[in-house]
Amino acid sequence: MEGYATEEGGCGVKINLFDTDGTTAITPTADPKWALTNVAGEVINSRESETIAAGESVTPNLSGPDLALPEGKESARFVIVTGIYDSLTLGDDTKFVHQHKFYIKPVQKKTIWPA
C-alpha cells in the first residue's frame, strides 16, 4: 500500500504485519525495529534501527526532517520494519522484513511558514 505525506509535516505510517499466507497477523517476538530510507536506500534523518513496540501493527511517527524535501519535488520514501516472529508455516524465530512506500508532496508556499 502506498500513501502520501506533506513536506515537513507530520504523519504516522501504520503497517500491519502478516505471516507468509498474507492473512494471519503476526506479533514480533524479538528485535522489532524500523528505518526510513529514500529510493536510493540512503537512511533519512538518522532513522536507522529505531526501536518500536511489538504488535500486530506498528506505527512509526514521522515529522519535520523525516519529511524534508531538499529538491522541493515530490519524492518517495520507505519505512522498513524488521524483526523476529514465530511463523505458523516457517517455524519459530523467523525473520521478517516489511517495506512500506509512501510519497512526500511539497508545500507550495514556504513563505507562510513560521520562522
Q: What is the pLDDT of residues 54-73, one digit of tens each?
A: 888 888 999 999 999 877 67
The domains located in the chain, with CATH, are 3-108 (2.60.40)
pLDDT at 13: 87
- Quick check: 79 and 60 in contact, CB under 8 A? yes
Please determine, for residue 109, whether its predicted confidence score (pLDDT) is greater than 80.
no
Q: What is the pLDDT of residue 35?
A: 96
Q: The pTM is what?
A: 0.83
Mean pLDDT over all residues of the chain? 87
Residues 6+ apart with CB under 8 A from 20: 87, 89, 90
Q: Is 89 exposed, middle or buried (0-12, 13-18, 19+ CB in 10 A)?
A: exposed
Other beta carbons within 10 angstroms of residue 66's beta carbon come to 22
Q: How confident is the model at residue 83 (pLDDT cuts 50, 70, 90)?
A: very high
Task: Give the containing element (helix H, strand E) for 80.
Answer: strand 75-87
In the predicted structure, residue 15 carries a pLDDT above the cut 60: yes
Handedness of CA 50, 55, 56, 57 (dihedral sign): negative
